[in-house]
């Protein structure tokens, strides 16, 4: 198969961006190991698994010669806040879960490649693959100071999948730095999670605490979460390359869950909550994590009407929810008190 036909096959499978690079030892693996060594992955222990494959993907497919880096745009404009008691959701999670969406496309692509005699191995997000390292090597954007892969003047609102395939094709060009002296993301990060070289300390990242972490969130983080209910996009919305991002063509990424009305959410039982978010990333923290996040946002809301929604959780038999409610109530009362004195 020639290169153009390969790219056409990827696009026909539903990937908007396709880049190729040669398979080598994973570039950036030492950065990754150092990140783990410093404990920056926090409780995400699964990131320590299969380090041999992360370093040498050829261990899974020793006949592979090329890395296909695939991207799907998910951007659309944020709709207005529906009510004062609403929590903000990171844009990648506004619609359908990208693991399902891109996973299906990957399956289709792999089947088509196999029909052409090309074997492959890869994944979306969860496989032991350093996706941004390969994206950086293949020129699927450049690595920004916020750690995101960013297309110059087109932005970072795209999600990645990586496929290791048999055969050799000419590689795409790696992109150089387009951040220059700009540090808007570093300044915009509410918790100072962005270190040098775009390394994110997950122990400070709101995305980690609101999506991945189970249990109580430290007070210092809750104080800074503002209205972020699920994930955080501050390091992306502050980036000038995202200023003119064009909307995704995917109906599945339309902003269905850009805001969650927290009073309505907390009136639902766990089962209703989970049913409501079937097929979306919002199920990841489970009902317990969503309740915790809702209480945090209400505690930061400066809205008196949030008080009676928080109060019942002061008697919760669940320690995390009880502690979070105690913080939320005292934070909210302090804010309302200081507003009264203005
Ligand atoms: C764990 C994880 C998280 C963690 C940790 C984030 C982090 N920065 O590491 C948490 C939960 C905090 C998180 C948050 C988010 N995530 Co996340 N996450 C991942 C995951 C599963 C692994 C990332 C990882 O390995 N981190 C470790 C660090 C060290 O690696 P890295 O930042 O990817 O950098 C690599 C390269 O850039 C390179 N490198 C870095 N510096 C240097 C320097 C040199 C000299 C060289 C040679 C190489 C090099 O080496 C690094 C290691 O491979 C990937 C999917 C995957 N399998 O890769 C998604 C992924 C990175 N996440 C993604 C997204 C969308 C997000 C969020 C935007 C979600 C949100 N809105 O809340 C935020 C963004 C936070 C941020 N600014 O990075 C996308 C990013 C797409 C893109 N365009 O870049 C990915 C790729 C998922 C996907 N399949 O699309 N995430």
Is residue 235 in contact with ligand 1, taking CB distance under 6 Å? yes
State the pLDDT confidence band at 341, using cuts at 50, 70 and 90.
Answer: confident
CA distance 72 to 102: 8
Q: Is the CB of 208 within 6 Å of ligand 1?
A: yes
What per-residue confidence (pLDDT) applies to 72? 97
Q: How many residues does the chain have?
A: 342
pTM equals: 0.97
User: What backbone torsions phi and psi does residue 48 show, to the nearest 5 degrees?
Assistant: -90, -10
Structure tokens at 81: 């806040």
The rounded mean pLDDT for the chain is: 96
pLDDT at 340: 75
| Residues 88, 229 contacting (CB under 8 angstroms) | yes
**pLDDT tens readout for residues 249-305:** 889 999 999 999 999 999 999 999 999 999 999 999 999 999 999 999 999 999 999
- Which residues have C-beta within 8 Å of that of residue 295, sequence separation ≥ 6? 310, 313, 321, 324, 325, 328
**Cα(254) to centroid(ligand 1), Å:** 23
Cβ distance 305 to 85 under 8 Å?
A: yes
The dihedrals phi and psi of 260, each to the nearest 5 degrees, come to: -115, 125
Provide φ and ψ at 338, rounded to 5°: -70, -30
For the packed helices 98-115 and 3-12, what is the interaxial angle rounded to 10 degrees?
A: 140
Provide the token pair at 41.
């992955």
Q: Is 232 in the pocket of ligand 1 (CB under 6 A)?
A: yes
Average pLDDT over residues 89-113: 97
Query: Residue with structure tokens 């766990």?
Result: 270
Q: What ligand 1 atom has the least distance to the C-alpha of 126?
A: 57
H helical segments located in 75-232: 98-115, 131-138, 184-188, 206-207, 219-222
The kind and range of the H/E element at 273 are: helix 270-276
Q: Which of 132, 196, 228, when mutated, tests ligand 1's pocket best, judged by the most ligand atoms within 8 Å of its CB?
A: 132
Question: Whose structure tokens read 């992955």?
Answer: 41
- Report pLDDT digits (tens) over 23-70: 999 999 999 999 999 999 999 999 999 999 999 999 999 999 999 999
Any bridge partners for residue 19, and if so which? 69
**Fold of the domain spanning 3-76+97-166:** NADH Oxidase (3.40.109)
pLDDT in tens, 180-212: 999 999 999 999 999 988 899 999 999 999 999
Q: How confident is the model at residue 246 (pLDDT cuts 50, 70, 90)?
A: confident
| Cα–ligand 1 centroid distance for 132 (angstroms) | 6
Instruction: Please give the distance, rounded to the nearest whole angstrom, from the Cα atom of residue 329 to the centre of ligand 1.
Output: 34
Confidence of residue 21 (pLDDT cuts 50, 70, 90): very high
State the DSSP H helix or E strand holding residue 292, giving kind and residue range, or none if neither: helix 286-299
DSSP state for residue 151 in the 8-state scheme: B
Mean pLDDT of 122-142: 97
Q: 256, 331 in Cβ contact below 8 A? A: no
Beta strands 86-89 and 228-230 are: parallel
- pLDDT of 186: 97
For residue 160, give the H/E element and its range.
strand 158-166
CA proximity to 280, closest of 253, 301, 247, 250: 253
* pLDDT digits 0-9 by tens, 133-181: 999 999 999 999 999 999 999 999 999 999 999 999 999 999 999 999 9
| Residue 342 pLDDT greater than 70, yes or no | no
pLDDT higher than threshold 70 for residue 102: yes
The Cα–Cα gap between 143 and 193 comes to 16
State the catalytic residue, choosing from 73, 119, 125, 263. 125
Cα distances from 88 to residues 103, 189, 260, 311, 326, in angstroms, run 26, 15, 7, 22, 22
Residue 125 annotated to the active site: yes
φ/ψ of 2, rounded to 5, equals: -80, 170
- What is the side-by-side order of every strand in the sheet holding 120-123? 17-22, 64-73, 158-166, 120-123
Question: Which among 248, 284, 272 has a CA at the least distance from the CA of 99?
Answer: 284
* Strand segments (E) across 238-317: 259-261
CA–centroid distance, 199 to ligand 1, in Å, is 9
Average pLDDT over residues 236-254: 91
Which residue out of 131, 156, 158, 280 has the highest number of ligand 1 atoms within 8 Å of its CB and is therefore the one to mutate?
131
Helix or strand holding residue 121 (H, E)? strand 120-123
Mean pLDDT of 114-135: 97
Cβ(143) to ligand 1 under 6 A?
Answer: yes
Can you give the residue ranges of every domain in the chain?
A: 3-76+97-166, 184-340
Q: Which tens digit of pLDDT belongs to each residue from 308-334?
A: 999 999 999 999 999 999 999 999 999
């Amino acid at each position: 198969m020639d290169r153009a036909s390969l790219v056409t096959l990827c696009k026909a499978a539903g990937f908007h961006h396709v880049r190729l690079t040669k398979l080598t030892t994973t570039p950036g693996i030492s950065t990754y190991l150092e990140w783990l060594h410093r404990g920056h992955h926090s409780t995400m222990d699964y990131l320590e698994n299969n380090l041999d494959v992360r370093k040498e993907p050829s261990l899974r497919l020793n006949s592979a010669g090329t890395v296909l880096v695939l991207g799907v745009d998910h951007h659309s404009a944020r709709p207005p806040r529906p009510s004062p008691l609403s929590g903000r959701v990171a844009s990648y999670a506004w619609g359908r879960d990208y693991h399902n969406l891109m996973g299906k496309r990957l399956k289709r692509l792999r089947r088509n490649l196999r029909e052409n005699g090309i074997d492959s191995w890869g994944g979306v997000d969860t496989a032991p693959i350093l996706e941004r390292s390969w994206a950086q090597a293949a020129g699927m954007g450049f690595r920004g100071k916020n750690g995101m892969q960013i297309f110059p003047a087109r932005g970072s609102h795209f999600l990645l999948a990586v496929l290791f395939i048999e055969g050799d094709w000419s590689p795409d060009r790696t992109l150089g730095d387009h951040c220059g002296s700009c540090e808007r993301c570093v300044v915009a990060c509410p918790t100072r999670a962005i270190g040098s070289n775009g390394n994110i300390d997950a122990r400070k990242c709101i995305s980690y605490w609101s999506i991945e972490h189970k249990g109580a969130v430290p007070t210092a983080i809750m104080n800074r979460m503002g209205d972020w209910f699920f994930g955080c996009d501050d390091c992306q919305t502050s980036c000038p390359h995202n200023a003119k991002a064009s909307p995704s063509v995917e109906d599945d990424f339309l902003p269905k869950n850009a805001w969650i009305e927290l009073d309505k959410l907390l009136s639902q039982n766990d089962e209703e909550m989970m049913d409501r978010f079937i097929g979306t990333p919002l199920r990841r923290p489970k009902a317990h994590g969503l309740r915790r996040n809702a209480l945090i946002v209400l505690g930061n809301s400066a809205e008196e009407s949030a008080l009676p929604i928080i109060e019942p959780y002061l008697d919760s038999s669940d320690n995390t929810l009880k502690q979070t409610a105690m913080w939320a109530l005292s934070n909210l009362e302090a804010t309302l008190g200081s507003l009264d004195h203005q």
